[in-house]
C-alpha cells in the first residue's frame, strides 16, 4: 500500500468561499478518491490561513476582534466538506497550537539561513508579499490584485533563498519536484534564471497589530504569513508535536506528496517551500499540480462587480454532483475556464439529465419491461469489452487531465445511446439477441459507474444500487432519477 498525501492551498478567511475555492478542493478530492480506488493509503488535507494581515484589516472594518473573525469564517470553508462531498482526512487552522509549535520548530531548523536586516519595499497585503518595481504593472499595481502596494520600511528577518537557487533549479529540471503542467515548469525555471533574491520572512508585531505567530526568541516580530502558511502541510501531520508518526509516514517516507494549488501561488510552492525544506533537511513535495482561474461571464470574480459565485448556492440549486461535474468538465484541469449559469444548465441538461441520467433510466426501464431485471447474467460481446478497455486505458494513462478523462467516459454514454437507437432492443423478439444487447449495456454502465466514482461519488453510488450487481449477476432496482431535468 503506497502512502499518498494530497493537499490543497489553505484559504484566507477574510471572506466566504467562491467557486474557485470549490474547484480546487474538488480536484484534490477526485485525486484522493482515485488513489484510494487503487488501494493506496491516502491522507487528504485542506484548511484555513488565519494569520494574514487581510484578516486584521477585515476585523478592523467589521469592528470585531481578529480571533472572532477567524473563528466565524473558518466554518464557512470547513462547510465545503459536506456541501461538496469531500473525502477529507484532516482540516487544519493556522491558529491551532499544533501548527504554531511546528512553525516555530521549522524556523529554528532553518536558523542557519535566517538573518535580520533593515528593508524597504513594496508590499501587497492581498498577496502577502513584497514586489520589485519591475514586477508591477505599468501603472505600478500588483499584477494579481490590481491595487497599489504599500511602501514598507522595517527591520525584519530574511531567508537566504540564494543559498538554494541551484538546488531548486536542478530538482525542477529533473522532475524530482514535478510541476504540472509543463508550461508552469518552464515559467518557474525562467524565473529562477532571472535571479532569485533572499526573501523577508517576518513583519513587525506592531504592523501585524499583534496578530500572528511569534518569531522564536523575538516577540517584536511575527512570522511572515507565507512562511507560516506553507508549514501547514507538515504540522497537520504532527511535525513539531510529541507524535510525529503520520509525519514520518506521509512526509518523510517514500510515498507520493502532491500539492494542488492555483497558478497565482505556485511560486511559493515550487521555490520558497522547497528552499525551506532543504534548509531544514526535510523531504520535498513530489508533485505540484497548478490549476488555472475561473472567470464569471468572462470577467474576473470581484466583490465590487458583484459576480462572486457561492458554491453553496450552486449546490442548493443543482446538487453536489452536478456542481462537481461542471467544475471538473467545463474548466480545463490545467488552464483557465469560465462559469455562467447558461453554461452550467447546458452541461447539466445535455451531459447529465439527457446524457448519463437518461441512458441509465431508459436501460433499466427496458430491462424491467422485458422481464429480465432479476438474476440477469450474460457475457458482453468482445466489441463492447474492447470499447470499454480502450477508455479504461486512457483513464489510467491520462487521469490527471480531469476534464479530458470525463470527456472520454462520456464517449461511452454517447456510444450506448447510439447503440440503443440502432438496435432498438424493445422491438426484438429473439430473446437471446435481446439479452446480449442488454448485457452489453449493463457492462458499460457498470464500468461507467466505477470510473465516475472519484468524480461523482453520489451518482456512482446510485448506479451501483440500481444495477445491484454481484459477481456478474444483476438484480435491477429502479430508483430515483440520477439528474432530473431543470
Residues identified as active-site: 18, 21, 124, 127, 142, 145, 300, 303
Angle between helices 320-329 and 457-467 (to 10 degrees): 120
Parallel, antiparallel or unpaired: strands 202-204 and 218-223: antiparallel
Please check whether residue 401 is in contact with residue 440, taking contact to mean a CB–CB distance below 8 angstroms.
no
Smallest CA-to-CA distance from 477 within 466, 485, 464, 469 is with 466
Parallel, antiparallel or unpaired: strands 287-291 and 178-180: parallel
Q: How far is CA 256 from the centre of its chain?
A: 16
d(CA 95, CA 101): 10
Q: How many CB atoms lie within 10 A of CB 371?
A: 9
d(CA 386, CA 390): 6
Buried b (16+ CB within 10 A) or exposed e, 27-64: bbbbbbbbbbeeebebbbbbbbbbbbbbbbebbeeeee
Please check whether residue 302 is in contact with residue 293, taking contact to mean a CB–CB distance below 8 angstroms.
no
Phi-psi sector, 42: left (phi>0), alpha (psi -120 to 50), beta: beta
Assign 379 to helix, strand or coil: coil
Q: How far is CA 221 from the centre of its chain?
A: 33
Smallest CA-to-CA distance from 194 within 107, 128, 240, 134 is with 134
Amino acid at each position: 500500500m503506497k502512502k499518498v498525501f494530497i493537499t490543497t492551498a489553505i484559504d484566507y478567511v477574510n471572506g466566504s468561499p467562491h467557486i474557485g475555492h470549490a474547484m480546487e478542493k474538488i480536484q484534490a478530492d477526485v485525486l484522493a478518491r482515485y488513489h484510494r480506488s487503487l488501494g493506496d493509503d491516502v491522507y487528504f488535507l485542506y484548511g484555513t490561513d488565519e494569520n494574514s494581515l487581510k484578516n486584521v484589516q477585515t476585523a478592523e472594518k467589521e469592528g470585531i476582534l481578529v480571533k472572532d473573525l477567524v473563528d466565524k469564517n473558518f466554518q464557512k470553508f470547513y462547510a465545503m466538506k459536506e456541501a461538496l462531498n469531500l473525502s477529507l482526512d484532516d482540516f487544519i487552522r493556522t491558529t491551532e497550537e499544533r501548527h504554531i509549535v511546528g512553525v516555530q520548530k521549522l524556523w529554528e531548523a532553518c536558523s542557519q539561513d535566517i538573518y535580520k536586516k533593515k528593508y524597504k519595499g513594496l508590499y501587497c497585503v492581498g498577496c502577502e508579499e513584497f514586489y520589485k518595481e519591475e514586477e508591477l504593472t505599468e501603472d505600478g499595481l500588483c499584477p494579481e490584485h490590481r491595487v497599489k502596494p504599500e511602501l514598507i520600511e522595517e527591520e525584519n528577518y530574511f531567508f537566504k533563498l540564494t543559498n538554494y537557487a541551484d538546488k531548486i533549479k536542478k530538482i525542477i529540471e529533473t522532475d524530482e519536484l514535478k510541476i504540472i503542467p509543463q508550461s508552469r515548469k518552464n515559467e518557474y525555471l525562467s524565473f529562477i534564471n532571472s535571479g532569485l533574491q533572499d526573501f523577508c520572512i517576518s513583519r513587525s508585531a506592531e504592523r501585524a497589530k499583534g496578530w500572528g505567530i511569534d518569531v522564536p526568541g523575538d516577540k517584536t516580530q511575527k512570522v511572515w504569513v507565507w512562511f507560516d502558511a506553507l508549514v501547514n502541510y507538515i504540522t497537520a501531520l504532527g511535525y513539531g508535536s510529541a507524535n510525529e508518526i503520520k509525519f514520518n509516514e506521509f512526509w518523510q517516507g517514500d510515498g507520493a506528496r502532491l500539492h494542488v494549488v492555483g497558478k497565482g501561488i505556485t511560486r511559493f510552492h515550487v521555490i520558497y517551500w522547497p528552499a525551506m525544506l532543504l534548509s531544514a533537511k526535510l523531504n520535498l513535495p513530489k508533485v505540484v499540480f497548478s490549476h488555472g482561474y475561473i472567470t464569471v461571464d468572462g470577467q474576473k470574480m470581484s466583490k465590487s462587480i458583484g459576480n462572486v459565485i457561492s458554491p453553496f448556492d450552486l449546490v442548493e440549486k443543482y446538487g453536489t454532483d452536478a456542481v462537481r461535474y461542471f467544475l471538473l468538465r467545463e474548466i480545463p484541469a490545467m488552464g483557465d475556464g469560465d462559469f455562467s449559469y447558461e453554461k452550467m444548465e447546458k452541461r447539466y441538461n445535455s451531459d447529465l439529465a439527457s446524457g448519463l441520467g437518461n441512458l441509465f433510466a431508459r436501460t433499466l426501464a427496458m430491462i424491467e419491461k422485458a422481464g429480465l431485471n432479476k438474476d440477469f447474467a450474460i457475457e458482453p460481446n468482445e466489441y463492447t469489452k474492447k470499447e470499454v478497455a480502450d477508455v479504461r486505458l486512457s483513464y489510467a494513462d491520462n487521469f490527471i487531465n480531469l476534464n479530458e478523462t470525463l470527456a472520454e467516459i462520456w464517449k461511452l454514454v454517447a456510444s450506448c445511446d447510439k447503440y440503443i437507437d440502432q438496435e432498438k432492443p424493445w422491438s426484438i423478439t429473439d430473446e437471446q439477441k435481446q439479452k446480449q444487447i442488454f448485457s452489453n449495456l449493463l457492462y458499460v454502465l457498470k464500468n461507467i459507474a466505477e470510473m465516475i466514482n472519484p468524480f461523482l461519488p453520489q451518482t456512482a453510488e446510485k448506479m451501483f444500487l440500481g444495477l445491484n450487481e454481484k459477481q456478474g449477476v444483476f438484480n435491477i432496482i429502479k430508483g430515483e432519477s440520477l439528474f432530473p431535468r431543470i
